[in-house]
Amino acid sequence: MNNILYITGAGVSSESGIPTFRGEDGFWTIGSKNYTPMEMATRAMYESNPEQFLSWYYNRFATYRNHGPNEVHHWLSDKNLITQNIDGLDGKAGNENYIAIHGRLDQMTLFHHQGDDVQTMQTPWDDVNEDNLIPSLLNVFNIDSKTKRPILNESFKPYVLLFDEFYTELYRISEAQERMHNADKIIFMGTSFSVNITQMALRTAVNNGIPIEVVDPQPIELPYSNVTYHKMKASKYIQLI
């Protein structure tokens, strides 16, 4: 088997000090004063209340922007990789062609209609003044000063796929699907299988008879016979192989 596809989730970055999403300390257990995480991480919230959205996004994600990759990221640096993580640690580890299927924390785009062809650009996080956080964030993302709302094709939006958005070519979805179909084996690391991309990969494996490996201390039981489970952290797995 020469074409192994690795699909990673939040469990891989937990050893870099970044909380998982659905654990006790996870991002989705932490909302804001008035909204749940599932309400916060939406395009609708960004459009209607960018102050709340950007403040939540900054405190829950951007504060981890300077964390470094761990040994698993470095091990994956020359691998065929799709990650659900937006932390950018695979890029920091040197993987030049990984797919960040949910976006990247260090980048942003113009605020656009989904499906429009736009480019990513670096988010100037260092320009954010934490002592004056909300006005500073509104300025960085060019939110209209009068309406306090983002302006289509003028304001900026974090390069991150939100709950009420769908996969587009901005997130390299066609390339991701092609990698799944061409894989000889798919190895899932540190994922709960609770997002669309993992379900898509699982369906592809089942339909094409592709063997699967699952690396997780508490793996989800999958409805597929051709699965090998490794009940351990990814850091232990790479040492054993």
Active-site residue numbers?
A: 102
Rounded to whole angstroms, the Cα distance separating 57 from 133 reads 12
Convert 46-111 into a string of H (helix), E (strand) and C (coil): HHHCHHHHHHHHHHHCHHHCCCCCCHHHHHHHHCEEEECCCCCHHHHCCCCCCEECCEEEEEEEEC
Closest C-alpha to 74, from 150, 5, 137, 16: 16
Rounded to whole angstroms, the Cα distance separating 193 from 56 reads 25
Rounded to whole angstroms, the Cα distance separating 107 from 88 reads 9
Rounded to whole angstroms, the Cα distance separating 10 from 200 reads 18
Ordered alpha helix ranges (H), 108-218: 133-140, 173-182, 196-208
130-131-136 Cα angle (round to 5)? 60
